A and B are shown apart, each in its own frame.
Chain A
Amino acid sequence: MRLPDYYEFCCRVKIVAGHDALEKIPALLGALHAARPMIITDRGVAGAGLLDVVVGALQDGIVIGAVADEVPSDSDFKVVRRLAKVYQQKDCDAIVAVGGGSVMDTAKGVNILVSEGGDDLMAFTGAGALKKRLKPLVAVPTTAGTGSEVTLVAVIADHEKNLKIPFTSYFLLPDIAVIDSRMTLTLPDVITSQTAMDALCHAVEAYTCLAKNPVSDACALEAISLIAGNLLKVMKTPADRDGRLALATAATLAGMAFSNSMVGMVHTLGHSVGAVCQVPHGTCMAVLLPYGLEYNMHKNGEEAGELLFALAGDAVFARTPRDRRAKQTVASIRALNQDLYEVTGGRHPRCLGEVTGPDGKIRVPRARLPEIARVALGDASIFYNPEALDEDDLLMVLEAAWEGIPLDPARIRKG
């Protein structure tokens, strides 16, 4: 057990997980003195029939004040303001957010307005702008990836000013995260693999980057072994309830880990590839994860080696000599990507050059890598990466990830 010279950890969210966890929501809200929740979700969730499952589970115990199922994938201030009005008109007293990152962020924004009053979100952006508890917020994740059910950040766009505004406060944390296997049971295969790889990245980076701490280490190891033990199983048997619950739980554990320990260069580059070329976040994560580990190995090889235990199990760990474990960790992740590539019939890419859009065209043209590297320099996750990265380093990693070849150790400049 490593104890850093200084660390902080906080995750105030109550975790309720299981195959029938949704049915607990009325009682959980009751304990928070709420009786009339507003459900916030998006069309995709409603279309997949998940909203009906949630409404069905809530109906018996509680009156649903309002249902808003039209959160767009790029939610903004306008949507937040509109939903806050609905909440007030329908006299709601709590929010149940059902969905992925965008729904969670929107719900957090709505919660600021309905708790603090007014319609000026910008007044609550700075550090420490929120000073008191907000209305009860229950988060029901439907993607098993982002971990936003346990994160204290909400990013909401102001489309008029073309800005993405981050809100950060412990008060933005949902009160309860309800993890129910039914919510991810029908997730399409590629989404399952993308989101699981995002969660895996959260756990791996939380464990290997600068702000690691004992609690996030424990959560991260648990998350990694759940993903490693269940992802391929679920890809082959999508209706595996236990496997789905394991992946969803892993995503939440990884969310707890990285929201305290933050993430490093895999996210630095991933955010940038996503922003410049509109590639799904999970896809970037899957492709870039081995490179993050390779690049930092001279700094955190010890930690990276320990991950082999969670990734490959105790037998492989025991028979791999200490000094080869970190490399074996990278190899296991590459092997996992290869397995996912095969099980999805090539729709899970192994390198940036293989990423294609819905039209089948290549999504990340090689010529845009310099631009991606430049944008990556402005991503705050770079602070938490063990080794320094300048524009040349970022480009070097991107080039390798584009082709799908391991990093050349001679080109890694060691600080």
Chain B
Amino acid sequence: MMTLPDHFEFICPTRTASGLKALEHLPGDLEAMNARKPLIITDKRSTEKGLVDQIAKAFRTSGRTLGVYDGAGPAADMDAVKHLYHLYLDRGFDAILALGRGATVDLAKVVNIAVSGRPEDLARCQGIDGLHHPLNPLAVIPVAGGTARECAGEVAFGDLYYRSRYLMPDLVTIDPRMIIEEDPLQLVPTAVAALTFAVEAYAVPQGNPLVESYAQLTIGFVFDHLLDEVRQTVAQKKWAARLSEGFSLKKGRLALVNAACMAGYVHANTPSGLAARLGLAIGQRSAVDPALAMGIVLPGVMEEQVNRRGWDLSRLLRPMVGLDRFAATPGAQRFAAAMAKIRHLFNELFVLSEAAIPRTLEDAGVTRDALAAVAEAVAGADPESARACRTILEHAFIGQPVAP
């Protein structure tokens, strides 16, 4: 049984709505926040794929007018912020619907900081907990893929960085119609990032029950659905086009989007973990996707911490295999089984993706020389932590578990 820490805190101000006809709830949900004229901030892809039209359809009979800005690009663009700031105020918008992922949602959040207060706030409220008041209503409508931080309270926008609970969306509306067919491999980095945030949230001797509730869901959804989604879609590609939309397939996607969104809530309530920081540092020094690098180093990070600090993290296995198989596994085997599950996930992805998804840092094309630089960048001056980082990286290089 879980023991509680002596003190813990948790907040998730977000209302999550997921599933069949979720979009149709938007007008009413906005009304409940006293918002009547929403501005959709999105990218060209959403317009081209008909996602914006779907949202417009969901607003039929609501009597509302929608603004649509679909110029969000992959990079931080201050001109777009200025443009949207004036648009929002001049046209009397009172809420933002961020439709998309990654940079698109970041743009929407930055615009929301500006329009909720004064434009100077963009400079003034930077950093951790720099925001002190709730912002205007913001809803995120996720699409598949992304950074798994869309629903968190963190924004990195060019040189600007913000972290605050007030950046968590008021509403997340997950609708299967927004999760459209695309390369299944694009789902992988998102799911792996979500998994990393969730697993690292366990890296404390006594768990925060709320963080762990959301973390369990994230881990469970990823392990229940990621491989199937990738497998099915790859198989279907070879079987020519799908005739009808398989509902089960959508359900798997829906679960993965839920996982990404819950990982955001976990992320907002936990400090950034070592695997996440190592992954980012590796991404900066090589061509590998930082999200995948996070996942590759993840089991080693957990093993190293368990070895060094003697923590019991056997509970990690539960969401990965479900109650039955968790209960069937003796306590002393659980942690090792959990780490093996993570490694197994990558091995399978490696095969399914025809080696496009790496299992090890070596597969990922990271050079041995880069490892030392990464360890130094992440560990800083602390020799113990530098040693730990080196051990983790060297093991992740060849995919070897960090033995006790």
Contacts and interface: CB of A to CB of B under 8 A. Distances in A.
B245 to A, nearest CB: 14
Interface residues of A, number: 48
A128 B32 contact: yes
B209 A7 contact: no
A16 B269 CA distance: 12
Interface in B4-33: 4-22, 31-32
B19 A6 contact: yes
A318 B326 CA distance: 9
A226 B207 CA distance: 12
A215 B16 contact: yes
Interface stretch (A265-273, A309-317, A407-415): A309-317
A246 interface: yes
Contacts of B132: 31, 33
B395 to A, nearest CB: 30
A4 B258 CA distance: 11
A383 to B, nearest CB: 19
B4 A246 contact: yes
Contact of A225 (B2, B13, B32, B210): B2
B47 interface: no
B255 A1 contact: yes
B17 A8 contact: yes
A18 B217 contact: no
B12 A314 contact: no
A11 interface: yes
A158 interface: no
Contacts of B4: 17, 226, 242, 245-246, 249
Contacts of A313: 1
Interface string A173-209: 0000000000000000000000000000000000000
Contact of B22 (A3, A6, A219, A318): A6
A9 B16 contact: yes
A133 to B, nearest CB: 7
A241 B12 CA distance: 27
A215 B9 contact: no
B1 to A, nearest CB: 4
Contacts of B251: 3
B327 interface: yes
Contacts of B13: 12
The 8 A-B pairs of least Cβ separation, nearest first, read A18-B7, A6-B19, A1-B220, A10-B15, A218-B213, A318-B327, A14-B11, A314-B327
Interface of B: 1-22, 31-32, 34, 132-134, 209-210, 212-214, 216-217, 220-221, 224, 251, 254-255, 258, 262, 319, 323-324, 326-328
Interface of A: 1, 3-21, 31, 33, 128, 131-133, 170, 214-215, 218-219, 222, 225-226, 229, 242, 245-246, 249, 253, 306, 309, 313-315, 317-318, 322
15 contacts: A7-B16, A7-B19, A10-B14, A17-B4, A18-B7, A19-B7, A128-B31, A128-B32, A215-B213, A218-B213, A218-B216, A222-B212, A226-B4, A314-B326, A317-B323
